[in-house]
Structure 1
Amino acid sequence: MLKRFLKPIKLPVSVDWAVLILRVGISCLMLIHGYAKLTNFLGGDHSFADPIGIGEELSYLLTICAEFGCSILVILGLVTRAALLPLIFTMLVVIFIVHAPDGIDKQEHGLSFLFVYIALLLTGPGRFSVDSKLYR
């Protein structure tokens, strides 16, 4: 079951190129967010929101793992679908908990990431990925 979840779907080459551009582009943008959080955390700033009640520091670390670590995995196309799950969860928290009272102006950014992550979850990483080489 797990191998079937991780295995890329065979797509037309033009779609594989589109998936590659989408996967790398959106992940580079998220990587910037994650890197900023990582450098702040390593610099000693451990104050962060606790939107789901697990503590500020753990919430911060999980967000860094998703935004920075999972973005690297998605760029490489390595365990892509599994790496997208924490990113999707993080965007759901951002949209529906952190920015819930702020309205669509603040939610729009998270929604943009969420829609792309869901699309990538459905298509998989495409032919130009480490997953494709691993699960031939």
Structure 2
Amino acid sequence: MLKKYLKPLPLPAPADWGVLLLRVGMSLLMMQYGYAKLHNYLSGERGFADPIGIGEEASLVLTIFAEFFCSILLILGLAARLALIPLITTMLVAALIIHAQDPFDKQEHPILFLIPYLTLLLTGPGRYSLDKVLFG
């Protein structure tokens, strides 16, 4: 029954191009942050914030997973809604926990990623995605 509510509505062609642009554009921007963290991690730098109490390294690995690997899935439109969950969670933690005491200009950056991610969660990956090719 839940599957019925998760099916994306049919979109006209310009909207599908818009969803593709949003999906790929946001993912390419986010990948830059994830790649930098991945590079630092592979270089031996493990220091990172521990906002939810699971340890610095675990927090870093989960953030790298979201920002880099989930962004790749989102670019491809593969398991897009599932890939959005870690991205949304990471941006919520950044905005509401990491930058909770900071002025709005520090919270604004993760919120600017969060809004398109929530939009994509609602719309789905669109017609031009591997999800559409593989699962119809």
TM-score, normalised relative to structure 1: 0.95
Distance 2:19 2:38 in 1: 27
Q: The residue matched to 1:95 in structure 2 has which SS?
A: helix
Native 8 Å contact 2:94 2:107 kept in 1: yes
Match in the other structure for 2:49 = 49
Distance 2:115 2:27 in 1: 13
Distance 1:45 1:5 in 2: 43
Match in the other structure for 1:91 = 91
**1:70-120, Cα deviation, whole Å (9 max, x unpaired):** 000000000000000000000000000000111211011100000000000
RMSD of aligned alpha carbons: 1.5
Q: Aligned residues: percent identity? A: 62
Q: The residue matched to 1:100 in structure 2 has which SS?
A: coil
Query: Aligned-pair distance for 1:22?
Result: 0.5
Match in the other structure for 1:22 = 22
Distance 1:106 1:40 in 2: 22
Query: Aligned-pair distance for 1:57?
Result: 0.3
For residue 37 of structure 1, what is the amino acid of its counterpart? K
Query: Aligned-pair distance for 1:24?
Result: 0.3
User: Which fold has the larger relative contact order, with Cα–Cα distance below 8 Å and residues 6 or more apart in sequence?
Assistant: 1
Q: How many residues align?
A: 136
Distance 2:130 2:3 in 1: 14
